[in-house]
Structure 1
Amino acid sequence: MSSVAPLWRRLVAETVGTGLLVTVVVGSGIAAASLSPNDVGLQLLENAFATALGLAVLILALGPVSGAHFNPVVSAVDWWLGHRPGTGLTLRDLAAYVPAQIVGAIAGAVLANLMYDKAAVSWSTTDRSSGHLWLGEVVATAGLVVLIFALGCSGRAAVAPAAVGAYIGSAYWFTSSTSFANPAVSIARAFSDTFAGIAPASLPGFVIAQLFGAIVGVGLLALLYPDAGQAADDIVTPHTDTTSEPTTTGVPS
């Protein structure tokens, strides 16, 4: 039986993964605005397509190390649902995952800015403070939580890269907010005054909506998949340390 990877290795994976996810989101947004300057719909299509594919690739590459959460909401729900059955993240893990994800996300936005010869930090001026956008974030986040845990507890976590990528790509279009669904990514997008940006003043409403969406998602899971916590070790994808020697305890680092 293999144990999960050491915490430091998982934190590297979460930092790099969340950072590259934001680089994909912001970088493809900059490219889309440049390549299709007169067609906002095409810009959104290009941004969504790149994000969906990029997210799937990152989950495939880093999921075996950390589970590829790349999202404080996913990590928090993983801890909440798994703490009773003794699966998933510990409170110590959660306290380390969230800062790593936020720091990685901000670094990813800076990297995207620099790759396109822009200022490392340019605070976004795109206002997104509106009730219908917050509702969109509730829907996007709740759906993401339900999808990830439904896959895990039904033994289909192996298809999470494609499924989660597809969900986020489609949610760009069916939610009014274009589906941020991630507090770390939301914070990072404030650091880039480009197509994918969000004004810092709009962040509190988005983050609150995402947290509420997570609560809604947990409620739906309680109704639909009451044993979802048993699969917390497989969120977003199964992750074990295949480089370690077999053990008989399986105690997470």
Structure 2
Amino acid sequence: MIDLPRRLAAEALGTGILVAAVIGSGIMAETLTNDVALALLANTIATGAILVVLISTLGPISGAHFNPAVSLVFALRRELSARDAALYAAVQVAGGIIGAVIAHSMFELPLLQASTKIRTGGAQWFSEGVATFGLVAIILAGIQFERKAVPMLVGLYITAAYWFTASTSFANPAVAIARSLTDTFSGIRPLDLPGFVIAQMAGALVALALMSWLLRVPGSSDLPINPEDRA
């Protein structure tokens, strides 16, 4: 296994680049067009594409979680220690904040901002639960059946979830925290942040529970009955 400092560096770097892509593409889109749907499409494509790249390149180092909810799931699966999961989450949040600062720097905006974009209400929170549920389910199933396809599966899922969820699928507490520090296209008010984070964690835990059952390796008692045995 790769040593912890390098894994933590990969998690911070990946989350930082992810957030820079999310916020930066949103700023660019908003600058170039007044059409909200077109701006969201540009933001979507950039996010899905960067996820494929980051998971493919940094996954072999740290697992490419870039997401405290994902790290929690792997800790509960005992594939990551509680200490390492906590450290992963800490550097993911730090990396995300740095990514927001980098995005603002590239577009000559104030480095840290408090977002004023309202994202609240039951539909938004439920959407975040659904988005994170789907993300975790895709990751767990992908690892078991199509490990090499996981980068593409995650990128495509988030691309789709931008459009089928009312919240545009944050699905990541670290990214949500970073997005509360940008008053741009992809922002979220700090006041609305707790509801998103709680919904994301809940969605991840529900996915873990369901997929643990659904993906269980069959034991002798689970084997299908052979018709010849009935003769």
For normalisation by structure 2, the TM-score amounts to 0.92
* 81, 86, 94: which one aligns with 1:90: 81
User: 1:76-225 residue pairs with structure 2 within 5 A?
Assistant: 76-81=72-77, 83=78, 88-154=79-145, 156-225=146-215
Query: What is the alpha-carbon root mean square deviation over aligned residues?
Result: 0.8
Deviations along 1:118-163, one digit per CA (max 9) or x if unpaired, are: 0001110001111101010010000000000001122x11111111
Aligned position for 1:30: 27
How many angstroms apart in 2 are the aligned matches of 1:18 and 1:129? 24
More helix as a share of residues: 2
- Give 5+ residue unaligned stretches, structure 2: 218-231
SS of the aligned residue for 1:187 comes to helix
Deviations 1:59-100 (A, max 9, x none): 11111100100000001001101x2xxxx2111211210101
Match of 1:14 in 2: 11
The percentage of counterpart residues that share the same residue type is: 52
Cross-structure match for 2:36: 40
Is there any run of 5+ residues in structure 1 with no aligned partner, and where?
Answer: 228-253
Separation of aligned partners in 1, 2:114 and 2:141: 37
Deviation at 1:222, TM superposition (A): 2.6
Partner AA of 2:23 in structure 1: V
**In the alignment, which residue of structure 2 is the partner of 1:242?**
none
Distance 1:26 1:111 in 2: 9
> Which residue identity lines up with residue 16 of structure 1 in the other structure?
L
Number of aligned residue pairs: 217
| Structure 2 residue identity aligned to 1:94 | A
1:225 CA drift (Å): 1.1
| Matched letter for residue 39 of structure 2 | Q
| Equivalent position to 1:71, from 47, 67, 71 | 67
SS at match of 1:167: helix
Q: Which has the larger radius of gyration?
A: 2
State the structure with bigger RCO (CA 8 A, min sep 6), 1 or 2.
1
Give the superposition deviation at 1:204. Answer: 0.4
SS at match of 1:223: helix
CA–CA distance in 1 between the matches of 2:177 and 2:110? 17
User: Shift in Å at residue 15 of structure 1?
Assistant: 0.3
Counterpart secondary structure, 1:104: helix
The 1-side partners of 2:2 and 2:182 are apart by 33
Distance 2:203 2:96 in 1: 21
Paired residue for 1:237? none
Structure 1 segments of 4+ aligned residues over 6 angstroms from their partners:
none
